Chains A and B, each alone.
Chain A
Amino acid sequence: MVKKKASKVKAQYKKLHNAWLDKRIPAANQISFDLKNVFILPSRSGGAILAITFAIYILGTNYASNLVLLLTYWLAALMIVAMHWSFYNFYGLKLAYTNSSEVFVGEPLKLTFKAMTQRDRWQFHVTHLKGDVTWEEINKEHALFNIDLYPQQRGEFKLDRFRIESSAPLGLFKVWSLVDFDLTVLVYPEPMPCPQYLHGTGLQGDGLGKKGQNKASADDFSELKSYQKGDSLKHVAWKQLAQGKGWLTKSFSEPYESTLCFSYGLLSHHGHEQAISQLTWLVLQMRQTNKKFALQLMNNQVLGPDKGDEFCRACLSKLASMPK
């Protein structure tokens, strides 16, 4: 009971904290560190040194020793200067998201960020989930750094706020910021090899029926296009010409038998996720061999037939965002 309450309070606190953070450091695809979005506190070791300095101060006071007091004042001043140096290391640094790789479940997602700075910087740590990146130094020009993530699920992957921190130069202070790059990456399903379907699965359901009728008619007439010079006279729609609708050409689509078709419906007996994984593999194979294909999804919606990178990417996106 108490535990439940505690966790509730914790959740409430986290919510408030996040809201405060969102207000203070709004999501953006570039962040420039300044007074507003950088936090600084003495680190644990800094606290220890501070406590020792105080103890030495007491010692100096009790022995009325000016030199010991001078030492404590010097240590205090050192802490103050170190604090400024620590903050200055962060101040003015710009961080921007550049790009990410195409990613499938089970593969690392490589996010690349660019740091821009007018002067050299000391080390930084970037902590995200379990990943931990250390930057030893940032040079004047600019530096790239990668965060490797391992998304566990297909679909939209939102990059949470992550922590970038530094305790340079003395380790007495911890300076950090929690940055949100407002970044969503579509994670494609994990491909699963299924060579037995490389020659197509055919189409299923209503779509097949209609197309079948079309196939039964003499020619695979699909639409009328305006006549252009060089079009074959054989295909001119004479009937429409006679009706006074002008010169039109009948265009014919390729027959479906010659197109590779992959249907979710016909694979779904393997299980929902597995079918999606198999389709992903097939799409990748098609992209590699640059073949024309059509993809039938859950509600018998058909993509294509088409080929090429763009089409494949569209197919993968559709597969990634299929309902779970």
Chain B
Amino acid sequence: MITPNVSQCLRWLVPAQLIVQMYQAIEHTWIILAFYLVCLCLKWNQLQSGQKAFKRLYRILGLVIALVIVAGLGQSYGYLTAVISLLAFTQSLKLLEFESYRDLFGITCVQLFLIAAGLLLHVELIHAVVLTISLLLSVIALLQVQLVKLKAKKLSIYASKLMLLSLPLALLLFFAMPRLPPLWQMPKSQNAQTGLSETMKFGDIANLSRSNKLAFRATFDNLPPEQKDLYWRVLVHDIYDGTEWRSSLTLKKKPLSAYLMSRLSWQEQGAYWDYAILAEPSYQPWMFALDIAKVSGIKAKMAADFTWYADKPINQALEYRVRSYYEAPVQQRPDNWFYQINLQLPEQGNEKTRQWAQQLKTQFTEPELLIEHVLEQFAEQAYYYTLSPPRLLDDQIDEFLFKTKQGFCAHYASSFVFVMRAAGIPARVVAGYQGGEWNPKGEYFSVYQYDAHAWAEVYLPEQGWVRFDPTAYVAPERIEQDLSSALGDEEEFLANNRFALVKYKDNWLVNEVRLGFANINYQWSKWIVNYNQNSRSDFWKDLLRFDWWKLLKWLSLAIFVFFSYLIYRGLKHSQRADINKPYQQALSILAASGVKREPGMTARELLPQLKALSDESHTVWLKICQLIDRHEYQTESSKIQRKIYSHMTKQVQELREACKNGRKD
């Protein structure tokens, strides 16, 4: 039927395809992009030399090569990569044989699939925008085939119009359509776990602190707590083997057995904070909450150490609600098992510390005083808070406490717990995040990986578990403000990430822009990426609480803009089209001067009468006739049409003068 102009189409298709190919290449393997580029070069060559389409043999050869590569990729990268790269290769091969109208639709189908594949893995707003551009370009290619004569600019306008017009309907469907549960299990891509890990070595948290990746966001319903109270608990480490800490309650054991539950005593009472957490995918099951949390909204369980676990690893952004009773004391009735766990130390090693602890134990009979003394030591002695402490060898705690005295939060927390346990006081290390950045635009906290932190909890018979943070004594800025202020001006903060905007937050403008973008991203992931059945009821609730006054203001502004546009367009339109108006004026002028016009007479047929009237009016009328001809019989651009109109009005003025003069004579 229609044979598309291939090179004209490729102008739009190639950028569209490059975008999706690039995404898959970065996500999976560069071979995808290389294959595409080779095919593109071949196609370009074919078009340049004006050869006919590739022979069947070559096409089959291409397919075979592609299949061999796919099989190889499947072996080494897994099933999903193989499927995606097969799709990408299909696109490349389809490009090679692009000839007919039908091919274009094949190409578009694959393109749509690849866009979807890109969206599956990249949920940030910026990626959505880039992939939308790819979609737009594909739409333009479709338009180009049908509307051959249109210029690129007009095509882009049509395509944008089409996409924008359909967007409201799309959003309506998005918010109103019920979500179906997954129909069948799909292969998951293998992603590296991010964030805190199940075990903790001395350097782990310092390493994590070099990343400016977002961990989660928290939105408080009411007044948000102070920075120093934001201890986001994630994991409890209570077993130390001399080099690393791990959890006795590993996930494999049933998190909260009836027995352990019976030994805990706490009540949901006292003051609380209500907030929502929007967790980024970490590919791990643990969740973020402040003490003592009750999570709702998703399937999750609490462990006996008050940490929370989701049923499945968090593979995509996840939103849940938490209520934290921050004043509730945590009492536990200790038993043998309890002491065994919380006083556990490796059988040997760190003898110096053990001696010190024994000495303290005899010195202080009250545990509170002992704790105070140890913390004061951290504050008074030359302990130094740094992201890159010197390497520790065999007796880590000994070396750190008495020799190097330089460490990050994990060093302080571990040493503190070690000393407590050695002195016979039950204690444990807690890993999590501390603080967060308040975004005043969106009114929420962003907690980044560099907010990762470790602190200690000590069991005091009267009070239960009590939190102590030795870091607060070494570097109070870390707790009261954030990591970058604690590290000072030594450029240590995000040292490998030169372009992290957060480093420049002292610059007002940069900071404003950064927070603005962060907020847009937050709204995007809150309303689009993580919109679900639960938030749907919230959506309607929010709608009732909505700031209608604000909406009214915006609406009136929008209406104003709309009407201004209408008026502007109307003016333009009347200027362009109504050449009839000045013509009618001219006719009435003539009628006043006694020129009779029979119905149906054209302008030119009036010329003899005007000749009789006066020479001047005759010449003016001739010009008017020419203008009318030009307007009628030539389809000019609206710009020229408007020019014609203005000329016309000018001529009508002259005609009026001429007729006046004529009468005077």
Residue numbers of A with Cβ under 8 A of B are: 45, 48-49, 52-53, 55-56, 58-78, 80-82, 85, 122-123, 125, 136-137, 139-141, 167-172
Taking Cβ atoms with an 8 Å cutoff, the residues of B that contact A are 1-2, 101-102, 104-106, 108-109, 112-113, 115-116, 119-120, 123, 128, 135, 139, 142-143, 145-149, 158, 162-163, 165-171, 173-174, 177, 179-186, 316, 528-532, 635
B contact residues around A72 at 8 Å (CB): 116
CB nearest neighbor in B for A137: B149
Q: How far is the CB of A72 from chain B (nearest CB, A)?
A: 8
Ranked 4 nearest A-B pairs via Cβ: A77-B166, A77-B169, A45-B105, A74-B170
In the docked arrangement, what's the CA distance between A82 and B2, Å?
A: 19
B529 touching A67, Cβ below 8 Å: yes
Known: A59-B120, A69-B174. A122 touches B145 (CB 8 A): no
A56 and B170 within 8 A (CB): no
A170–B161 CA distance with the chains assembled, in angstroms: 13
Contact A64 B170 (CB under 8 A): no
Contacts of B162 in A (CB 8 A): 78, 81-82, 85, 169-170
* Subset of 23 A-B contacts with CB under 8 Å: A49-B109, A52-B113, A56-B112, A56-B113, A58-B183, A59-B116, A59-B120, A61-B179, A62-B186, A66-B529, A67-B529, A70-B170, A70-B528, A72-B116, A73-B173, A74-B135, A74-B170, A78-B139, A78-B163, A123-B146, A141-B635, A169-B162, A171-B146
Whether the pair A71, B113 counts as a contact (CB closer than 8 A) is no
Query: Whole-angstrom distance between the alpha carbons of A141 and B120 in the complex?
Result: 49
The 8 Å CB contact of B528, one of A66, A76, A168, is A66
A55 to B116, CA, bound (A): 10
- By beta carbon, the residue of chain A nearest B162 is A81
**A219–B432 CA distance with the chains assembled, in angstroms:** 134
Q: How many angstroms from the CA of A103 to the CA of B147 in the assembled complex?
A: 35
Known: A62-B183, A64-B179. 16 other contacts (CB 8 A): A52-B113, A60-B120, A64-B316, A66-B174, A66-B528, A67-B120, A71-B115, A71-B119, A72-B116, A76-B170, A81-B165, A137-B149, A139-B635, A170-B139, A170-B146, A171-B146
Q: By the criterion CB–CB under 8 Å, are A48 and B105 in contact?
A: yes
Residues of B within 8 A of A64 (CB): 179, 182, 316
Q: Which residues of B contact A85 (CB under 8 A)?
A: 162
A122 touches which of B112, B146, B529 (Cβ 8 Å)? B146
Whether A67 lies near B128 (C-beta < 8 A) is yes
Give chain A residues whose Cβ lies under 8 Å from the Cβ of B173: 73, 76-77
Residue of A nearest to B105 (CB): A45
C-alpha gap A49/B166 in the complex (Å): 16
Minimum Cβ distance to chain B for residue A122 (Å):
6
Q: Give the dominant DSSP class at B's interface.
A: helix
Contact B182 A61 (CB under 8 A): yes
Nearest neighbor of B155 in chain A, beta-carbon distance: A169
**A53 CB to nearest B CB, Å:** 7
Q: Which residues of B contact A75 (CB under 8 A)?
A: 112
- CA gap between A324 and B528 in the complex, in Å: 76
Docked pose: A250 CA to B125 CA in angstroms: 105
Are B109 and A65 within 8 A (Cβ)? no
Q: In the complex, what residues of A have CB within 8 A of residue B104's CB? A: 45
Rounded to whole angstroms, the CA-CA distance of A101 and B415 in the bound complex is 105
Please give, as numbers and ranges, the residues of chain A lying within 8 Å of B148 by CB-CB distance.
123, 136
Nearest Cβ in chain A — how far from B135, in angstroms? 8
B635 to A74, Cβ gap below 8 A?
no
Complex interface: chain A residues within 8 A of B635 (CB): 139-141
- Asked if A55 meets B166 with Cβ closer than 8 Å, knowing A62-B183, A67-B529, the reply is no
Contact residues in A for B139 (Cβ distance below 8 Å): 78, 170
**A300 and B104 alpha carbons, distance in the complex (Å):** 66
Give every chain B residue within 8 A of A55 (Cβ-Cβ). 113
Is there an interface contact between B116 and A71, defined as CB atoms closer than 8 Å?
Answer: yes
A69 CB to nearest B CB, Å: 7
Complex Cα distance, B158 from A85, in Å, reads 11
Bound CA span A60–B118, Å: 12
| Contact A170–B183 (Cβ < 8 Å) | no
> What's the nearest-Cβ distance from chain B to residue A16, in Å?
28
- Within the complex, the shortest CB–CB distance from A215 to chain B, in Å, comes to 55
Q: Which of A125, A141, A167, A171 has the most CB of B within 10 A?
A: A171
**Contact, CB under 8 Å: B529 / A63:** no
A292 to chain B: closest CB distance in Å?
A: 40
Structural contact, A73 and B174, CB atoms closer than 8 A: yes
B305 to nearest A CB, angstroms? Answer: 30
Nearest B residue to A127 by beta-carbon distance?
B1
Inter-chain CA distance A140–B636, complex, in Å, is: 12
Chain A residues lying within 8 Å of B108, measured Cβ to Cβ, are: 49
A170 touches B174 (CB 8 A): no
Q: Distance (Å) between the CB of B117 and the closest chain A CB?
A: 8
Write the chain B residue with the least CB distance to A81.
B166
Bound-state Cα–Cα, A58 to B102, Å? 25
Inter-chain contacts of A172 with B (CB < 8 A): 142
| Assembly CA distance A52 to B494 (angstroms) | 44
| Most-contacted residue by chain A among B2, B123, B173, B635 (CB, 10 A) | B173
Q: Is B116 touching A66 in the complex (CB atoms < 8 A)?
A: no
Q: Which residues of B contact A74 (CB under 8 A)?
A: 135, 163, 166-167, 170
**For residue A65, which residues in chain B have a CB less than 8 angstroms away from its CB?**
119-120, 123, 316
Task: Give the docked Cα–Cα distance between A136 and B128 (Å).
Answer: 35
Contact partner of A66 among B115, B145, B170, B531, CB < 8 A?
A: B531
CA distance in complex: A141, B2 (Å): 26
On whether A81 and B169 interact (CB within 8 A), knowing A49-B108, A123-B147, A136-B148, the answer reads yes
Asked if A45 and B102 make an inter-chain contact with CB atoms under 8 angstroms apart, the answer reads yes
B119-A77 in contact (CB<8A): no
Q: Are B528 and A67 in contact (CB under 8 A)?
A: yes
Bound Cα distance from A48 to B123, whole angstroms: 27
